[in-house]
Amino acid sequence: MVMEGFAVRFIQSIDLENAAALLSLQQLATIATQPVSYRIVDVAPFIFGISPTLIINGFLVCLLCTVDALIEWKYRTFCFYLRAKLNHLWLATLVLLLAWTTYMGMLAALALSAFEGPGYSANALRFTVGRFFAVWGTTTMTVLAAALWLLNWLLILPPDVLGLPSLFTIQPNIACILVAPELAPGFFKWIYALPFYNGAMLLRYILSGAYPHIGTNVGIILGEICVMAVLLYITIAIAATVLSVTANKDATVVYNTQLCGSTPCALVNHGMEPTITASEKNGSVSRIILGFSIPLDTIGSKNITQCQLQMPAPLQAPSNQYTLQVFEAQGDWDEISINGVNEVKTGNALGSDMPVSTEKPSAIDITAACREALNSNNELLSLWLDTDGDAVVFPSVNTGSGAAVRIFI
């Protein structure tokens, strides 16, 4: 059993009378006011086994700090993906991630050292310099393996499903430390392969001498690092071919002869609003205009193989199937002044989709417009979005959930 070593050591060393005693109010106050100086055995006597959560919290904090760095890496380094050589980009990613996780591992080892303090529990092995570096190395390996899992997911997923990898990485890794796989149904035996499980077993051996299976745990973690590093090379190669550009401006433009108060509705500006609307009914037409800044310097001399417009799920739409049609929009415009009288011409038809109700529309092909922008060296790509019936309402760029263009290179 995983906990056998712990049980034997505790049974041999605890004082049953002291183990049955509850924490006094004075002890609780000391824990609350001086959490770092208090030791595990004082916070968690034998009758209240919270001590193992120290390992979970250490790994979790290190990984969550790493997730933030990985997301920043995904959104701020795409220009390198198109300019740097694939081998150099892969090696640089691995080196930077190793340096970051090494730093996280050092902080975890220092935190553990400070938490235990000089009066280390008699129920555990003496915390020496060697064990400090063992904890450092184990935490670094464990977090590096889990971070490589995450990075492979994050690089290829679009922003609207960026939280999905936590279901396959963070949550199972946390659960595997709390639940002994020996007691779980056979389906859950894959827990043995998770980085956090093997890292936790190593730390338990380092700190208490329990569960002495160093070769198995180290081999699994290093094997996962190698496999995920190879997959990272493939993932970077895939990510380097797709550029996602979110809209930087949008607006609803109304065309009709009605009055909005004393002002013709066609003269009213509907930019900078939280929603954008397309409709065509009873002689009144509302069109959506979208603006994107295409990073021509990033694309450089590379060819655009395909370009797609991806609209978010509508907030309001007809209950049955309807049509969305995309056209080129020719001319410069500003979302704070555009209205139905401004001269923004309609160009060629590009593509269409027929979604149902409030389901997310499929990607609409706009390759011709992207290639035209690249050939004419024009960074501004403008599009009209129309429908053929009742109002379809989308969130605007001001909500952070606007339209996006995916460019395949």
The predicted-structure confidence for 246-260, as pLDDT tens digits, reads as follows: 898 999 999 887 888
Is residue 324 pLDDT above 90, yes or no?
yes
Mean pLDDT over the full length of the chain: 78
**Furthest-apart CA pair in the chain: how many Å?**
90
Residue tagged 């492979």 (tokens): 152
Residue tagged 């060697």 (tokens): 130
Instruction: Please name which of 192, 180, 188 lies closest in space to residue 223, comparing C-alpha atoms.
Output: 192
Long-range contacts of 99-104 (CB under 8 A, 24+ apart): 100/66, 100/69, 100/147, 101/62, 101/66, 101/140, 101/143, 101/144, 101/147, 102/140, 104/62, 104/65, 104/66, 104/139, 104/140, 104/143
Is residue 32 pLDDT above 60, yes or no?
no
Q: Which stretch of 88-102, 167-181, 212-226, 382-396 has the lowest confidence by average pLDDT?
A: 167-181
pLDDT given at position 277: 93
Cα dihedral 99, 102, 104, 109, rounded to 10, equals: -160
pLDDT given at position 392: 94
Distance of alpha carbon 207 from alpha carbon 209, whole angstroms: 6
Q: pTM for this structure?
A: 0.57
pLDDT given at position 15: 45
Query: Which residues fall within 8 angstroms of residue 304, CB to CB, at 6 or more apart?
Result: 367, 370, 371, 374, 407, 408, 409
Residue tagged 């997923």 (tokens): 157
Query: Which residues fall within 8 angstroms of residue 131, CB to CB, at 6 or more apart?
Result: 125, 206, 207
Is residue 35 pLDDT above 70, yes or no?
no
- Residue 138: HSE in the Cβ half-sphere, 13 Å Cα cutoff: 28
Residue tagged 């290093």 (tokens): 222
Cα dihedral 64, 164, 73, 107, rounded to 10, equals: 10
Cα 13–Cα 123–Cα 119 angle in degrees, nearest 5: 120
Q: Could you say which DSSP state residue 377 is in?
A: T
- Residue 52: HSE in the Cβ half-sphere, 13 Å Cα cutoff: 23
Q: Residue 275's beta-bridge partner residues? A: 395
Is residue 371 pLDDT above 90, yes or no?
no
Q: What is the pLDDT of residues 11-21, one digit of tens each?
A: 444 444 444 44
pLDDT given at position 315: 93
What mean pLDDT comes out for the span 371-390?
86
Query: Can you say how many angstroms the Cα of residue 17 is from the centroid of all Cα atoms in its chain?
Result: 49
Query: How far apart, in Å, do the first and last CA atoms of the chain sit?
Result: 53
Is residue 5 pLDDT above 80, yes or no?
no
pLDDT given at position 252: 92
Buried b (16+ CB within 10 A) or exposed e, 5-41: bbeebeeeebeeeeeeeeeeeeeeebeeeeeeebbbb
Write the DSSP string, 59-111. Answer: HHHHHHHHHHHHHHHHHH-HHHHHHS-HHHHHHHHHHHHHHHHHHHHHHHHHH
Q: What is the pLDDT of residues 384-399, one digit of tens each?
A: 999 988 999 999 998 8
Q: Residue 204 has which token pair?
A: 């338990």
Alpha-carbon torsion 98, 99, 104, 108, what sign? positive
